Amino acid sequence: MRLIAEIIGVHAKIDCLLDYRGLLAPFPVTMLLDTGASCSCLLPDHVHYFRIPYQNLADADRPINTASGRITPKILPNVDLILPVRTGPYHSQTILWKISFDEFQIVPPQRRHVPQPRHRVVSIIGMDILKYFKKWQWDWNASELILDE
């Protein structure tokens, strides 16, 4: 199985889908690959744009450190993250790989949060998913990061 992320500057990103039981259909999310993040999570702009009702969600067991300081994420239950991966001979076939989470962390927006324009919104794929890919190869000419099992 192969995951191919687009390299933009010093970041690698992938477009995927996120689904949970409160949605009519999965919604598209752009995720940055973050080896410094233990867990994948939705950041405040996605929480805002997809109107996730976070106010009554349970707090995560542990706070996390962010660029803005220490926060306690909320837990969104029963989430599926759906990633396009390549498989088959020569990785010629694209399939959707669904990763199910009983609990998925979200970072709720702060009181005076002003979201980025929608086309600039990203969230995080952390090591809870990236650990499945043992071989990483950067193809700078193609602007791709290729991750293989």
**What is the domain-level CATH number for residue 109?**
2.40.70.10
Q: What are phi and psi of 118, to 5 degrees?
A: -55, -35
Give the chain's mean pLDDT.
91
pLDDT 10s digits, 88-138: 888 888 989 999 999 999 999 988 888 888 889 999 999 999 999 999 999
In a domain, 147, yes or no: no
pTM over 0.85: yes
How many structural domains does the chain have? 1
In a domain, 14, yes or no: yes
With a CB cutoff of 8 Å and minimum separation 6, the contacts of 72 are 59, 60, 62, 63, 64
In a domain, 104, yes or no: yes
Domain span at residue 45? Answer: 2-140
Average pLDDT over residues 76-94: 90
Average pLDDT over residues 3-18: 93
Average pLDDT over residues 1-21: 92
